[in-house]
Structure formats: structure tokens, C-alpha cells
């Protein structure tokens, strides 16, 4: 990353290109409650260096946020409504912060970990991947659940602003994925797409 950044600067492209790297929630050793977010001990040094590098270059940390996997691993304690943005009351109360959906809680756990790593809140975040599989682990993976997640995600990003910890955050977010990946190992990993490989829709992106 440092070498890439140097090349970008030397070619006078730093106003147009930002060097970064995406990370998965597996780098977190603690994420509940969100304010307890911290990087795993075995990757803390690497992640601290990455966050320092990004902060010094005013670049964001792209994070992959998948409420589906958290929910599917513990459906007895994590409600589907919390994972699908449908909860009408706070599910997690963390100090004076209230969490109505798992997506926000996961983003804020990353934010807390980054703040602890370098001692400042002035760090940008981008959600580089998020989505819900439409098949592969029924009953948790259905077309209706996938459609509901992406529809409610769109509404949350468009109308609700930042997260409880970062209320002023303009949370740039990308849905994974455009196509189902039929060459992956059978299961949920094949089924995040909005389209099948033959270009037919897996489900309407938004409710009609």
C-alpha cells in the first residue's frame, strides 16, 4: 500500500486515486456491544498500521458488513427483524446509543476498533460489501429475506444518515453482488446475486 501510494503521488494522481484495502468483520475480536469493538490481538498491529496509513492519507477503510452471517450463526439470540432493519424498538442499548438494526451495530463496532487503534474519531468508513443470500441455508436464506434486506438497506442509507456512534457519517455503501456465482462451492456463497448468470432476476431489487 505504501509503494502504491508513493506511485500515485509521484504520478500526481493523489487527488484522483486513493489507496486502501477492504477488511472483513473477522478482524474484530470484540464487537458487542458496539462500543467494545476492538481488533483481534493477532491482527491488531497490522490493522493499526493500516488505519494509521489511511488516516494520514485521508482515505477510508472499506469494510465488509454481513448481518446475515451474524444472524445465521446465532438465530436464537439475534432476531431476524434486527438483521433485516425491521425492528421498531431498540434491540441493543450501548450507553446512550440505541441500535435498531444489526448493520449499524456492526459498522459502529468497526468505528470503535479504529478509534481505539489510533486514538481519534476522524477516520472515514465505506461499506464495500453487504448483502443477503437468496438461497443455500433455508429457512434463513429466501428470496423474500434477500429482497427485504436490500430494500431496507437502501432506505436506511438514503434517509437515515449516519450511525448512532457516527451520526454525521455519510455512509457510502455497496451491495454484493450483481450476479449469483454458480462456480463457487454450493451454498450461500453462490446466492448473493441480484441476477442469475443467464441475466434473469433472482428477485425484484425493490418491491414493485
Within a domain: 14:
yes
Residue 147: CATH number of its domain? 3.20.20.80
Summarised one tens digit per residue, pLDDT across range 56-105 is 999 999 999 999 999 999 999 999 999 999 999 999 999 999 999 999 99
Angle at 58 between CA 56 and CA 63, to 5 degrees: 105
Within a domain: 105:
yes
Q: Is the peptide bond before 33 cis (omega within 30 degrees of 0)?
A: yes
pLDDT of residue 161: 87
pLDDT of residue 205: 82
pTM for this structure? 0.96
- Structural domain count of the chain: 1
Summarised one tens digit per residue, pLDDT across range 24-53 is 999 999 999 999 999 999 999 999 999 999
Parent domain of 16: 2-190
Within a domain: 205:
no
pLDDT of residue 101: 99
Within a domain: 152:
yes
pLDDT mean over 163-190? 96
Summarised one tens digit per residue, pLDDT across range 107-160 is 999 999 999 999 998 889 999 999 999 999 999 999 999 999 999 999 999 999
Within a domain: 153:
yes
Q: What contacts 187, CB < 8 A, 6 or more positions away?
A: 136, 137
Residue 207 clears pLDDT 60, i.e. is over it: no
Catalytically active residues, by annotation: 129, 181, 184, 189
Structural contact between residues 86 and 152, judged by C-beta atoms closer than 8 angstroms: yes
Q: Which of 112, 86, 87 is nearest to 164 (CA)?
A: 112
The β-bridge partners of 99 are 92
pLDDT of residue 22: 98
Within a domain: 200:
no
On the CB side of 150, CA atoms within 13 Å amount to 25
Within a domain: 203:
no
Q: Tell which wins on pLDDT, 58 or 206.
A: 58
Within a domain: 198:
no
Characterize 169-207 residue by residue with b for buried, 16 or more Cβ atoms within 10 angstroms of its Cβ, and e for exposed: eebebebbeeebeeeeeeebebbbbbeeeeeeebbeeee
Amino acid at each position: 500500500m505504501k509503494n502504491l501510494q508513493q506511485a500515485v503521488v509521484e504520478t500526481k494522481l493523489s487527488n484522483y486515486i486513493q489507496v486502501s484495502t477492504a477488511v472483513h468483520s473477522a478482524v474484530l475480536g470484540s464487537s458487542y456491544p458496539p462500543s467494545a469493538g476492538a481488533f483481534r490481538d493477532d491482527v491488531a498491529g497490522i490493522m493499526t498500521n493500516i488505519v494509521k496509513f489511511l488516516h494520514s492519507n485521508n482515505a477510508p477503510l472499506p469494510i465488509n458488513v454481513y448481518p446475515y452471517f451474524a444472524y445465521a450463526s446465532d438465530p436464537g439470540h439475534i432476531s431476524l427483524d434486527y438483521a433485516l432493519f425491521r425492528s421498531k424498538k431498540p434491540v441493543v442499548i450501548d450507553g446512550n446509543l440505541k441500535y435498531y438494526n444489526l448493520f449499524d451495530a456492526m459498522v459502529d463496532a468497526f468505528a470503535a476498533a479504529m478509534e481505539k487503534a489510533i486514538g481519534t474519531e476522524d477516520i472515514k468508513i465505506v461499506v464495500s460489501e453487504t448483502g443477503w443470500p437468496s438461497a443455500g441455508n433455508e429457512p434463513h436464506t429466501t428470496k423474500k429475506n434477500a429482497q427485504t434486506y436490500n430494500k431496507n438497506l437502501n432506505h436506511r442509507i438514503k434517509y437515515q444518515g449516519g450511525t448512532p456512534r457516527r451520526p454525521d457519517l455519510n455512509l457510502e455503501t455497496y451491495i454484493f453482488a450483481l450476479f449469483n456465482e454458480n462456480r463457487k462451492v454450493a451454498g450461500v456463497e453462490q446466492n448473493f446475486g441480484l441476477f442469475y448468470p443467464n441475466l434473469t432476476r433472482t428477485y425484484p431489487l425493490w418491491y414493485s
